[in-house]
Amino acid sequence: MKAKRVLAMAVTAMTAAVCIGASVQAPATAATKYKLLWSQEFNNTKVSRPDPKVWDYDLTDGYGWGNSEQEYYTNYTSNVKIDGKGHLVINALRLSETSPILDHCFACTYTSARLKTAKLLGFRYGRMIARMKLPTDTGTWPAFWMLGASLANGGTWPESGELDIVETRGSAPNVVHGTVHGPGYSGGNGRGSTFYAPNPVSNGYHTYGVDWLPNKIVWTFDGQPYFTMTPADTGGNRYVFNQEFFLILNLAMGGEFPGDTDPAVKSATLNVDWIRYYSINGQGKVFKH
């Protein structure tokens, strides 16, 4: 009888300990909530131009762009269009030796396109992501990126901030780059990292994105995070990524980043299946101008 009472007391004590232990466990982390705020699906059934309420064009004027690039940006449908098959297409096309463009852009060897949402749409925080197939021809430089909205209103670079969601270069067809530029950390001193894809990115469509929150940016490739940026990574310089940015999509040819183009490359194509922008746990805003 005594032994049974001791055993019962021991079982009761063990049960109480388990209950107490369970009561002090950390609560489960709430699932991250994403809400679609804006998208471009490019599902027009006919060949058409990008939506003028969303996209404007950066056009080459005079001697071309910086970085020793070799493209002449146009708004020609031969260079940029919605193809009627569910894609936005940017084509870089080699200029003929008799093109009148060469009369005022001596460094240009291709026409291409550069789209922007400046003064039309802006974004702050949230998930910005695109499904794209990028070219890897020698000298190609496709980019999906953002600039601080202040730049479109008299601000200066790099003080306005630059957020490169993805850049690639044809000489390294498996390498994906994510970078930021700001005051004191721009150009070759930009802060970023690379992701090594298992195959050339031109082999198929992949998703390229950032999860952008106050004081934190995370880059992803096909949903896999590969780099995180916070104010601690600016080397003591000013962090400029808690403000509105606008979106840019372009295909550059040649320049300091990808190197010279191959004369044998007559054309290169950037295909965009969709672009989507989500809030993250309520963080994210679209600005319409």
pLDDT above 70: percentage of residues in the chain: 89
Instruction: Please tell me the pTM assigned to this model.
Output: 0.89
User: DSSP letter string over 147-196?
Assistant: EEGGGGGT--TTTT-EEEEEE--TTSTTEEEEEEEBTTB-GGG-EEEEEE
What is the full DSSP assignment across 192-221?
EEEEE-SS-GGGS-EEEEEEEETTEEEEEE
The pLDDT of residue 26 is: 52
Q: pLDDT at residue 206 above 50?
A: yes
Q: Residue 246's domain is classified under what CATH number?
A: 2.60.120.200
Does the residue 38 lie in any domain? yes
Beta strand spans in the chain (E): 34-40, 56-57, 71-73, 80-82, 88-94, 110-112, 114-116, 121-124, 126-133, 140-148, 162-167, 175-181, 191-196, 206-213, 216-221, 224-229, 245-253, 267-280, 285-288
Burial status of residue 281 (CB atoms within 10 A of its CB: 0-12, 13-18, 19 or more): middle
CB atoms under 10 Å from CB of 115, counted, come to 20
- What are the tens digits of pLDDT across the range 237-274? 999 999 999 999 999 999 999 999 999 999 999 999 99
| Mean of pLDDT over the chain | 90
Residue 12, pLDDT > 50, answer no
pLDDT reported for residue 66: 79
Q: What pLDDT band is residue 23 in, cutting at 50, 70 and 90?
A: very low
C-alpha distances out from residue 204 to 129, 207, 249, Å: 16, 10, 18
CA nearest to 226, candidates 267, 268, 260, 176: 176
Higher pLDDT, 158 or 105: 158
CA separation for the pair 176, 86 (Å, rounded): 24
Q: How confident is the model at residue 16 (pLDDT cuts 50, 70, 90)?
A: very low
Q: For 109-132, what is each residue's pLDDT tens digit?
A: 999 999 999 999 999 999 999 999
The rounded distance, in Å, linking the Cα atoms of 61 and 277 is 32
Would 98 be classed as within a structural domain?
yes
Range of the structural domain that residue 267 is part of: 32-288
Number of domains in the chain: 1
Query: Which of the pair, 251 or 10, is modelled with greater confidence?
Result: 251
Q: Is residue 150, in this structure, part of any structural domain at all? A: yes
- pLDDT one-digit tens code per residue, 159-196: 999 999 999 999 999 999 999 999 999 999 999 999 99
Give the other-Cβ count within 10 Å of 264's Cβ: 8
* Residue 84 to residue 170: CA distance in whole angstroms: 27
Q: Please indicate, yes or no, if residue 254 is contained in any of the structural domains.
A: yes
**Residue 40 resides in a domain:** yes
Contacts of 22 (CB under 8 A, 6+ apart): none
The verdict on residue 148 lying in a domain is: yes
Q: Residue 201 domain-assigned?
A: yes
Torsion angle, CA of 221/223/224/226, rounded to 10 degrees?
Answer: 50
* AA identity, residue 144: F
The better pLDDT of the pair 211, 17 is held by 211
pLDDT of 8 higher than 80:
no
Q: Which residues are identified as catalytic?
A: 162, 167
Residue 66 lies in a domain: yes
Model confidence band, residue 63 (pLDDT cutoffs 50, 70, 90):
low
Q: Residue 122's closest CA among 9, 248, 252?
A: 248
Question: What's the average model confidence in pLDDT over 146-157?
Answer: 95
pLDDT at residue 5, rounded to an integer: 38
Q: Tell me, what's the pLDDT at 27?
A: 57
